[in-house]
Structure 1
Amino acid sequence: MESLFLLLPVSFLFVIGIGIALYWAVFSGQFDDTEENGKSILQDNDSNHTE
């Protein structure tokens, strides 16, 4: 029973931290263009850089 007094606040802090991280990720533009990163690897941008 005593372990619940420790585990409940710790788990609550984890949930709050995950919520803050998700809120930041959504509203800072992390998920705005999810398709572009997947397509960028397919684009041919190989150029010969010789000096």
Structure 2
Amino acid sequence: MDSLYVLIPIAILFVIIAVGIFLWAVRSDQFEDLERQGMNVLLDDDGPKAASAAKPQQPSDKPDAD
């Protein structure tokens, strides 16, 4: 029974901290655009690395030295 005198204030403290973090997240617009990150996975990457990798290699004009 004596442990409840310690555990209940600790639990209340955890709830207050969790509510504070949630309110901070709401006020700083953390939940503003939830679908954008999910859609970024589906979009193609048209950066320079992707363009150079998709380009077929041209044969060189130099004759082979056999």
2:20 matched residue in structure 1: 20
Of the two, which has the highest radius of gyration? 2
1:39 Cα offset (Å): 0.2
Q: Does 1:29 align with 2:29?
A: yes
Distance 2:45 2:35 in 1: 18
Unaligned 5+ runs, structure 2: 53-66
State the structure with bigger RCO (CA 8 A, min sep 6), 1 or 2: 1
Partner of 1:38: 38
Q: Which runs of 4+ in 1 moved over 2 A?
A: 46-50
Please list the CA deviations of residues 1-48 of structure 1 after superposition, one character each: whole Å capped at 9, or x if unmatched.
Answer: 100100010000000000001001111111000000100111111433
Gapped runs of 5+ residues in structure 1?
none
For the residue of structure 1 that corresponds to 2:43, the secondary structure is: coil
Q: Aligned Cα RMSD in Å?
A: 1.4
Q: How many residues align?
A: 50
Do structure 1's residue 48 and structure 2's residue 39 form an aligned pair? no
